[in-house]
Amino acid sequence: MLNSSCIILFVKSPERGKVKSRLASAIGEDKALDIYRAFIHDITGTLKKGNHPITIAFYPEDSEEAVVKWLGRDFEYLTQKGKDLGERMENAFAHSFSRYQRVVLIGSDIPDLTSAVMDEAFSALEKKDAVIGPASDGGYYLIGFRKDSFLPDIFHEIVWGADSVYRETLKIFEKAGHRIHILPEWKDVDTLDDLRSLFMRNRNSGFGDSLTMSSCRAVFHD
């Protein structure tokens, strides 16, 4: 019998010059790497508060040893395989549906994502075919399906990184007749302005004591 659910977190190996490239161009590669590590620390901390197994889908393919050493043995690990982001996400879902009935995938640019949003995503999949979380830049930060409603087409013929990703994905869902639940819009963090926005909106929030916020203070000399 399949287990009920799992979360897939897409990460990159924490290598200087290989993560947060747009942010690194503004604050330097060392600080960008510190920020990235903090993001993953805080995201995994939030995810661990739930009852869902967590799969770390890592990239590049030869980085498993480094990623496991970094994040530890509390997670399952999966290689991201595919020629682009869409194919890597499709393959990660296909692999996970061999074991789980409901799967939600998130990225690593949303360190302040809350447990409440994750709970809403899984609750939605009890009645809906899919769930999606729109990002403020026109993409999405979360996508999820039930095993019996998985729609690989949403990963095909999409221009990844464009501000039309979310809009085009909704069109594919609509064409397929899928019933979807839309989560609150979230601000992902790619640029210095994004990081500053994250810092300012969380200064007096429960996220204020996070490792991400500590790393932000080092950047903004607060």
What backbone phi and psi angles, to 5 degrees, belong to 199? -65, -45
| 51 inside domain | yes
Structure tokens at 200: 């300012």
| 48 inside domain | yes
Instruction: Give burial (CB, 10 Å; 0-12/13-18/19+) of 2.
Output: exposed
- Over residues 116-157, the pLDDT tens digits come to 999 999 999 999 999 999 999 999 999 999 999 999 999 999
What is the tally of structural domains in the chain?
A: 1
Mean pLDDT of the chain: 95
- CATH number, domain at 67? 3.90.550.10
| 222 inside domain | no
pLDDT band at residue 196 under the 50/70/90 scheme? very high
Q: Which domain holds residue 96?
A: 3-217
CA distances from 49 to 36, 43, 123, 128 (A): 21, 10, 16, 24
Q: Using CA atoms, how far apart are residues 59 and 88, in angstroms rounded to an integer?
A: 10
- Over residues 40-61, the pLDDT tens digits come to 999 999 999 999 999 999 999 9
